[in-house]
Structure 1
Amino acid sequence: MTATNAVHATGLVKRFGAFHAVDGIDLEVRPGEIFGVLGPNGAGKTTTLKMLATLLPIDGGEAEIFGVDVRREPHRIRQLVGVTGQYASVDENLTGAENLILFARLLGQSTAQARRTAADLLGRFGLEEAADRQIQNFSGGMRRRLDLAASLIARPPLIFLDEPTTGLDPRTRGQMWDTIRELVAQGSTILLTTQYLDEADQLADRIAVIDRGRKVAEGTPDQLKSSVGSSTLHLRVVDREQTARAAAIVEQVLGEAPVLTPEAGGLNIALGDANQTADVLIALRQGEVDITTAAVRQPTLDEVFLTLTGHHAEDDTDKEVA
C-alpha cells in the first residue's frame, strides 16, 4: 500500500450473518479526484463507505486512508475524513448557525472560533439568509447543503458523500453538483456513492461499478461506455412474442447476444461499428421480424450497467443490511 493514494483498499469484506454485503471489493482513490461508486440499492455502496469511515468494522481485507490503516488507527482516520450520509444529521430544533456552532464546539473550537467557522460555511454554501431559521423550516436542498457544510468544519482532505442528492429536485441537484465541483477545485478529494447514472457521469473522474457486493468494472465514464461498443442500436419489435427470435438473429449477425430492455420487445445492441446497423436491420427484415423503432446513439452508463449486470441500476430494490 502507498501513502500517495487517498484511499487504497483491497479485498474488503463485510458479512451480516451468512449474507455478504461486501464481497472482496478493491478501491483506489487518487488525491484531488471525484471517485464514484455506482450501484443499485443493496449493492454494498453504503456498507463499503461505512467501513472506510470506521463506522462499521472490516471483516476482511485491508484499507488505508492517506497511508493510515483504517482498522488499526480509527482515531487518526476520523481526523482525515468528513462524512455526509444519505440523510441530514442536523438538529431540527436548532437554527442553521446553531447547528454549525454546535458541531464546531464538539470538534474542540472555542465559542468565538466556532461562530467564525459557522459564518464562513454559511456564506460558502449560500445559507446566510437562513442562518437564524430552524432546520425544520429548511427545504431538502438546504438541509443537504448544511449537512455537507457541517462535514467540512474540520477541513478534512477526504470527503465521503453517500448519495448526496437523494430526494432532491433537479434544480437543487444541480446546485449540489456545483458545490461538489467547488470542493474539489479547493483541494478536496471526494468519494461519492450514487445510484444515479447521470450523477456519476456528470461528476466522477473515475467510477467503480458494484453489484451485489462485488466490483464488476472500473474506469473513466468514457472507458466504461466504450467497453460496450462505440455505438448502441436500440430496437423495439412490433410483436413482443418475436423478441427472442430477434435476439437470436442479432446474435447470429454480430456474434454477441443483445441485452433485452424492460420495455416490451426492446433490445439494446452493442455495435463495434455504427455501419453494422444496416446488417442487423437487413437480417431482421429477411427473418420477417418487424420493428417499430430503431435508433443509434452513443452508449450511456445505464447501458454499461445493464450489459455488466443484466439489470438497470434502479432495478434492485433490496436494501443493504447495514
Structure 2
Amino acid sequence: MSSMISIKNLSKRYASGFEALKNINLEIRAGEIFALLGPNGAGKTTLIGIVCGILRSTGGTVTVGGHDIVTDYRAARSLIGLVPQELHTDAFESVWATVSFTRGLFGMPPNPAYVEKVLKDLSLWDKKDNKILTLSGGMKRRVLIAKALAHEPRVLFLDEPTAGVDVELRKDMWQVVRNLRDAGVTIILTTHYIEEAEDMADRIGVINKGEIILVEEKTELMRKLGQKRLTLLLQKPITAVPAALAQHNLTLGADGNELIFTYDTQGERTGVTALLDDLAKAGIGFRDLNTTQSSLEDIFVGLVSKR
C-alpha cells in the first residue's frame, strides 16, 4: 500500500534543551489502523501535534497525502481530523451546531445528511439539540469525534479517544472506526487500553523517549515476540526437575505438582513435542495441561522495560 503519511528525520527540541523527538522516520499506509504505543512522556502527543500543524518541528519533513505540512499546509490539514486527549468543546452550542460549524471551518458545503449519519453512528442523534455543557464526559468525547469527522477527512488521529468512556460505548466507537478504515480512511491511534490496539490495529509502532523502537505488523509482532506458557499438572509431585529435562528450562511450581514450560511461538511445535517425548522417557506422567499466550500488553511492557 502507498504511504498516506511520510515522516522523515523528524525532531523536536524545546528551548529548555529537552529533546522530545529524535530523528523519527515513519511511513503510515493509506487505509490502515496504526496504533502508536508508548509510556507517558514518550513523545506520542508531540508527534501528532507536529503532523497536525499544532506544533513546529526543529528538523525533518512530514507529508500528508503528498502535501508538505509546512509549504502546503492548507491542503495537508484539510485531509486531517484530530480527536485530542483534552475535552475542548463549545459549551453553550448544541451538538448539531458545533459539528456543522466545524464542517464549515474547513470550507465544506452544508451536508445535513452526512452530519446526521455521523451523529447516529456515534449514538449522539438523540442529543443533537442539547447544549454541550449538559453532556456527560463520555458524550463530550463522542462530540469531539463527530467534530473531527465533520469535514470528511482522509486521515483521522485518535489521541486517547476512549478515556472516560464506558465499555459498551467504547465498542460502538470502535465499530465506527472499523467502518471508516473499510471506507479508506487512515487511522492513527494512541491508547493506554492496549487491548484496544491488540483488537483494532493493523500495525503497531512503539515510541519511547522520543525514539521509534519498533514498527511491525500486529500479527507478525505477536508471532515473533509473543511467548506461550505450558503448565503440566503432574500425576505425582516431584522435588526437582530431572537432569534429563534440564535442556527445556522448566520451572517447578505448586509444591512440585506442576511443571511450567515457557517458549516462543516460533518454536512451538518442536519445543512442545520434544518436551513431551522427554517426559515420557523420564517416566513423568501428567493428568492435565493448559496453555496461555502473552498479550500485546506483555510484549509492550517488555520492549519498554528493555529500553
TM-score greater than 0.5 by the shorter chain: yes
Matched with 2:212 is 215
5 Å-filtered alignment, 1:1-322, equals 4-16=2-14, 17-108=16-107, 113=110, 118-229=115-226, 231-233=227-229, 270-271=263-264, 273-274=267-268, 296-310=291-305
**Cα 1:311–1:167, aligned 2, differ >3 Å: closer, same or farther?**
farther
| In structure 2, C-alpha distance between the alignment counterparts of 1:301 and 1:224, rounded to whole Å | 9
3-state SS, counterpart of residue 55 of structure 1: coil
CA distance in 1 between partners of 2:123 and 2:58 (Å) = 41
- Shift of the 68–104 alpha-carbon distance from structure 1 to 2, 3 Å rule, reads closer
Q: CA deviation at 1:98?
A: 2.0
Aligned to 2:235: none
Aligned partner letter, 1:6: M
What residue ranges of structure 1 are gaps of 5+ in the alignment? 236-251, 256-266, 283-293, 313-322
Distance 1:169 1:126 in 2: 13
1:311 Cα deviation (Å)?
7.1
Inter-partner Cα distance in structure 1 for 2:230 and 2:302: 13
1:123–1:309 CA distance, 2 compared to 1 (3 A): closer
Q: CA deviation at 1:123?
A: 2.9
Distance 2:197 2:46 in 1: 19
Tell me if structure 2 keeps the 8 A contact 1:225–1:301: yes
Give, in whole Å, the separation in 1 of the partners of 2:298 and 2:221.
10
Q: RMSD of the TM alignment (CA)?
A: 3.3
The Cα shift of 1:18 comes to 1.8
Provide the rounded CA distance (Å) in 1 between the counterparts of 2:46 and 2:248: 40
- The one-letter code sitting in structure 2 at the alignment partner of 1:310 is S
Q: Which has the larger radius of gyration?
A: 2
Cα displacement (A) at 1:254 = 7.0
Counterpart-to-counterpart distance in 1, 2:153 and 2:77: 9
1:151 deviation in Å?
A: 1.3
Superposed displacement of residue 189, structure 1: 1.2
Q: Distance in 1 between matches of 2:104 and 2:60?
A: 35
Q: What secondary structure is seen at the aligned counterpart in 2 of 1:93?
A: coil
User: Aligned residue for 1:317?
Assistant: none
Q: Find the counterpart in structure 1 of residue 282 from structure 2.
A: none
Shift of 1:268: 11
Identity of aligned residues (%): 31
Work out the CA distance in 2 between the residues paired with 1:311 and 1:234. Answer: 24
Is the CA contact 1:228–1:307 (under 8 Å) kept in the aligned structure 2?
no
- Please say if residues 21 and 43 of structure 2, whose CA atoms lie closer than 8 Å, have aligned partners that are also in contact: yes
1:290 is matched with none
Q: Distance in 2 between matches of 1:199 and 1:211?
A: 19
Decide whether the 8 Å contact of 2:21 with 2:210 is kept in 1: yes
2:254 aligns with none
In the alignment, is the contact (CA less than 8 A) between 2:204 and 2:218 conserved in 1? yes
* Separation of aligned partners in 2, 1:217 and 1:34: 16
Unaligned runs of 5+ in 2: 232-245, 250-259, 279-288
Q: Which amino acid is 1:46 matched to?
A: T
Post-superposition CA distance 1:74-108 (Å, at most 9, x none): 22211111111112332122221121233234334
Distance 1:254 1:310, change over 3 A: farther
Distance in 1 of aligned mates of 2:262 and 2:48 = 34
Please state how far the C-alpha of 1:169 moved relative to its aligned partner. 2.1
- Could you say if the C-alpha distance between residues 253 and 91 of structure 1 is closer, same or farther in structure 2, counting changes exceeding 3 Å? farther
Deviation at 1:51, TM superposition (A): 0.7
Contact 2:13 2:19 in 1 (8 A): yes
Aligned pair count reads 272
Per-residue deviation, 1:163: 1.3
Q: Which moved more, 1:46-55 or 1:10-19?
A: 10-19
Alpha carbons 1:135, 1:143 under 8 Å: kept: yes
Q: Using structure 2 for the length normalisation, give the TM-score.
A: 0.77
Distance in 1 (alpha carbons) for counterparts of 2:88 and 2:54: 15
Q: Quick check: 198-207 or 140-149, which moved more? A: 140-149
Please say if residues 248 and 261 of structure 2, whose CA atoms lie closer than 8 Å, have aligned partners that are also in contact: no
